[in-house]
Structure 1
Amino acid sequence: MVDFSRLAYVDIETTGTKPTRDQITEIAIVQTLNGKIIDKWQSLVCPNTFIPTMIQQLTGITPDMVIDVPTIDKIIPVIIEKLADHVLVAHNARFDVSFLRNAFKQNNIEFKYPVVCTVKLSREMYPTFKRHNLDSIIKRFGLTCESRHRAMDDAAILPEIVARMKSDFNQQKVLQAMASQQKLSSVPPHINPDIFSTMPNEPGVYLFYGETGNLLYVGKSVQIRARVMSHFSSDHSHDREMRMAQQVHDIEWIITAGEFSALVLESELVKSRAPLFNRQLRKQKSLFTIYWDNSLDKTVAQPSVIDINTLNTQSKKSSLKNTYGLFKNRRTATETLRKLKDENQLCGIQLGLEKGKGPCFSYQLKKCKGICCGKETTIAYQIRMQQALAPIKIKGWPYQGTIGIKEYNEQSDISCIHIISHWLYLGKVNNESELVDFNFDVTAKLDQDFYKICISQLQKSHRFINLANLNQ
């Protein structure tokens, strides 16, 4: 049972917004007992790093002010003393707590205190108001904060805000709201915690939206609610998670038939809607590969970088056997060839990286074994070439023809059959009866992300259906 009679109102100023990179420059703690202030403490902190000009203008804290003040490791013992037996209260507490937790972690000290966020408190007590940032609340309540963005003034205004809430409602309701935060303490300030009571713990995708309805992120999981909560509980140690959590205002989800369905849907949504925080799975205009006919002949075929979708992978079932690697552009594929050359003493001329006849440049540097000038046999070079390319070889399709991956989510009674042929995603149906009238996507192209999904998922215990006899 958390005792809310002792509160420690905390505010910090920092060199930036990233808790794993930026540093604390000032901290203030205002202690109250049963609503009355019993102690105020404030200290500047030497960040041992540059304070950006924009931050100096915002806070008024300049480099000269923090030259001869203690570093955070010297102040942590005082912070521990001030927070002992108190509930930490902060406005947008996720920000302050993330910086403090990282500072404690760097000094091998566990940061574990009950936390109340006054942004969440304001949202719950005044749900009809749209904005709950500190400036908006100060204006709404007619309060005065002389030095905004200085730790002591920002911390000292918070007891006044809480007192106003108790006046507008009653102390018991405010304490109940504080207690409810302890159950879902990691929920971002702009999210209504009630959303988690209806969020399913089933396979599917989830979508994070910003204040204006812009899509921030799409993710997938076999347990949606658990995965969403993990985003928010770990954000103190990841700058990207922290920035995303600060911007999330709404969450949607789509339940799927299983893990494979969730992976496919996630990839489709990221490509079609380009969420701000999704770095992977982006739509690609072209996909390139290294094509090399490795028949052990008397002559060595030169590898070439080609758009892989120029190969008809459905009608020419063996067309992928001579392909190596999947690349977003020609430059990356060429750089891979160059790296293989250097690591395996291959010939720049034979790889198409150099022009001309006679010894290649690498041979002159003793980094080629001499296929270009008759010092190495064709067979020996081809074998070495095969060995060098083997780790990036595109895997052959392990089935006779088209297959279906069947999934069923018993909890939500959702079924799905995904139709795949030679790493191409041809579409999906809800059940086997729909296969009769299924129209294949004849425009399907090889997709790097779907290829990776298949490679990982085909090793799992999915239910497979042989669809080799389907008309295509």
Structure 2
Amino acid sequence: MLPTVSNLYCAEPLVFVDLETTGGSLGVHRITEIGVVEVGPAGVTQWSSLVNPQQPIPFFIQQLTGISDSMVRDAPTFDVIAHDLLARLDGRLFVAHNARFDHGFLRSEFKRHGIRFQPDVLCTVQLSRAIYPTERRHGLDALIERHALVPFARHRALADADLLWQFWQHLHNAHSADILRGHIDQVTRRFRLAGDIDEDTIERIPAGCGVYVFYGENDVPLYVGRSVRLRQRVRAHLTGMKRSAKEQRLAELVRRVEWTGTGGEIGAMLEEGRSIARLGPAHNRVSKARRDDPRGAPWTHPGAIAIEEADATTGARVWHVVDGWQFFGTATSLDEAARLRSSAALAVFELSTYRILSERLSRGLKIVPLGVAMLVGAESA
């Protein structure tokens, strides 16, 4: 006997969603059909609508879904149903198979019409992999076969959404609530993040190397970190994916995030050290003094230098400006690097910069003396 609906909605209402589209490319293809199964303490309701995509449906898509141009010709366009659809989805856990696809298409359509759409998302492909790690196939056809689900019209939106609801019921019948809750928490992607941080904020963060700073109430610095995948790392901090208890406590305090793209890993290390020393964030480990720490070690170059590094994402070159064991920042050209140094005050010894460069400068880093760079710039002008 299946558990009751009141035991199935996991302390938050659910929507099982499936879309049919004219193709698989966001920004190019459009939605042709939407199916929604709403599940909550009040029970289960179903809703679906064809959607006029305002573009032709490719023949092979028509063959797959059975949805033809003539079927959608008089259907409402997305803007007509947008607010009614949002009312059904808003405030509910968004459950879909290959959820990135369905969520991405809907988010793009809502955004096109000036509507913000950022539900928490649960992918049933990831959930199936988490619960059945020894199985190789986790597509919808595999779930139908493995769990005796009953399709009534494959590749139609409401029918496929109903299959996900059937799968959800099967899981709650086959596994304990505690086990399921752990897997669901693990794979759910939380888009309601922290303070003023939302998914739009996260999307503005560079994908490559850089440094991030979390701030709490009253703009108190909490934590400085670096990553070679900056956007991914910040999102992981805040979305509950594989976090430790310490990271969970930190995430609950975060209200704002700042970031600096550094192009390469050396720049990220230098920027992280400088930011920790400048901000003194409460959740960073304090660097302990060592016996061999220098007290104002002599600078080993006649003046400022620019350390050249390739941007790990784009391949473009960047230059990290250092003088007197102080890091002044990252520039995208040697002219900019020279201006960055000339506009700053006298260099101050930074222990973090000394430690990083004393280890790394002997490893073949490409160094340009900024005095030479300024001369070259003046001659070319």
TM-score, L = length of structure 2: 0.53
Q: Which residue of structure 1 lines up, in the alignment, with residue 100 of structure 2?
A: 94
1:261 Cα deviation after fit: 7.7
In structure 2, C-alpha distance between the alignment counterparts of 1:18 and 1:31, rounded to whole Å: 27
1:263 to 307, 310, 324: 310
Deviation at 1:68, TM superposition (A): 0.4
Give the aligned residue type for 1:29. Answer: V
State how 1:305-384 maps to structure 2 within 5 Å: none
What residue number does 1:123 align with? Answer: 129
* CA RMSD across the alignment: 4.1
Partner of 1:28: 35
Partner amino acid for 1:145? Answer: P
State whether residues 257 and 416 of structure 1, in contact with CA within 8 Å, keep that contact through their aligned partners in structure 2. no
1:256–1:409 contact (8 Å) kept in structure 2: no
Question: The residue matched to 2:310 in structure 1 has which SS?
Answer: helix
Post-superposition offset of 1:122: 1.0
Matched, 1:10 2:57: no
Q: What do residues 168-221 of structure 1 show as CA deviations (whole Å, max 9, x unaligned)?
A: 2112322333233346669xxxxxxxxxxxxxx9969xxxxxxxxxxxxxxxx9
Aligned-partner Cα distance in 2 for 1:417–1:229: 29
**Counterpart of 2:78?**
72
Mapped partners of 2:135, 2:144: distance in 1? 13
Please give the residue correspondences for 1:48-59 in structure 2 after superposition, counting only pairs within 5 Å: 48-59=54-65
Code of the aligned partner of 1:115: V
Using the alignment, how far apart are the partners of 1:29 and 1:122 within structure 2? 20
Tell whether the 8 Å contact from 1:258 to 1:408 is kept in structure 2 after alignment: no
1:205-250 Cα deviation digits (max 9, x unpaired): xxxxxxxxxxxxxxxx9622424457999xxxxxxxxxxxxxxxxx
Residues 202 and 409 of structure 1: is their aligned pair in 2 closer, same or farther, counting only changes over 3 Å?
farther
Instruction: Summarize the Cα distance change of 1:138–1:108 in structure 2 as closer, same or farther, 3 Å threshold.
Output: same
Whether contact under 8 Å (1:12, 1:151) holds in the other structure is yes
Deviations for 1:344-389, whole angstroms, at most 9, x for unmatched residues?
Answer: xxxxxxxxxxxxxxxxxxxxxxxxxxxxxxxxxxxxxxxxxxxxxx
Instruction: Call closer, same or farther: CA 1:58–1:231 in 2, change over 3 Å.
Output: farther
Q: Is the Cα contact below 8 Å between 1:4 and 1:175 reproduced in 2? A: no
Tell me the secondary structure at the aligned position of residue 50 of structure 1.
Answer: coil
Please give the secondary structure, in 1, of the residue aligned with 2:35. strand
Distance 1:231 1:64 in 2: 43
Specify the alignment match of 2:118 in structure 1: 112
After TM superposition, give the deviation of residue 95 of structure 1 in Å.
0.6
Mapping of residues 11-410 of structure 1, within 5 Å: 11-33=18-40, 38-182=44-188, 223-229=227-233, 257-258=266-267, 263=310, 266=312
CA–CA distance in structure 2, aligned partners of residues 89 and 118 of structure 1 = 7
Write the letter of the residue equivalent to 2:73: I
What SS class does the counterpart of residue 415 from structure 1 fall into?
Answer: helix
* 1:434-460 Cα shifts (integer Å, max 9, x gaps): xxxxxxxxxxxxxxxxxxxx8xx9699
Return closer, same or farther for 1:176/1:45 CA change in 2, 3 Å cut-off: same
Offset at residue 107 of structure 1 (A):
0.9
Aligned in 2, Cα 1:64/1:167: closer, same or farther, shift over 3 Å?
same
Equivalent in the alignment of 1:243 = none
Aligned twin of 1:415: 360
Identity %: 32
Distance change in 2, residues 1:24/1:413 (3 Å) = farther
The Cα of 1:167 is off from its aligned counterpart by 2.1
Describe the SS at the equivalent of 1:176.
helix
Structure 1 segments unaligned to the other structure (5+ residues)? 187-200, 205-220, 234-254, 267-277, 283-394, 399-406, 419-427, 430-453, 462-472
- Report the 3-state secondary structure (helix = DSSP H, G, I; strand = E; otherwise coil) of the residue aligned with 1:159: helix
1:170 & 1:413 partners in 2: Cα distance? 55
One-letter amino acid matched to 1:415:
R
**1:56 CA drift (Å):** 1.1
Inter-partner Cα distance in structure 1 for 2:10 and 2:116 = 21
**TM-aligned CA distance change 1:77 to 1:223, over 3 Å:** same
Aligned-partner Cα distance in 2 for 1:122–1:460 = 56
What is the aligned length? 239
> Does the 8 Å contact 1:4/1:87 carry over to 2?
no
Q: Residue in 2 aligned with 1:464? A: none
AA aligned to 1:129 is: E
Contact 2:227–2:233 under 8 Å retained in 1: no
Amino acid at match of 1:6: P
**Displacement of 1:72 after TM fit?**
0.3
Change (3 A) 1:412 1:281: closer
TM-score by length of 1: 0.44
| Cα-to-partner distance string for 1:325-353 (whole Å, 9 max, x where unaligned) | xxxxxxxxxxxxxxxxxxxxxxxxxxxxx
Select the structure of larger CA radius of gyration: 1
SS in 2 for 1:11: strand
* Whole-angstrom distance in 1 between the partners of 2:308 and 2:10: 46
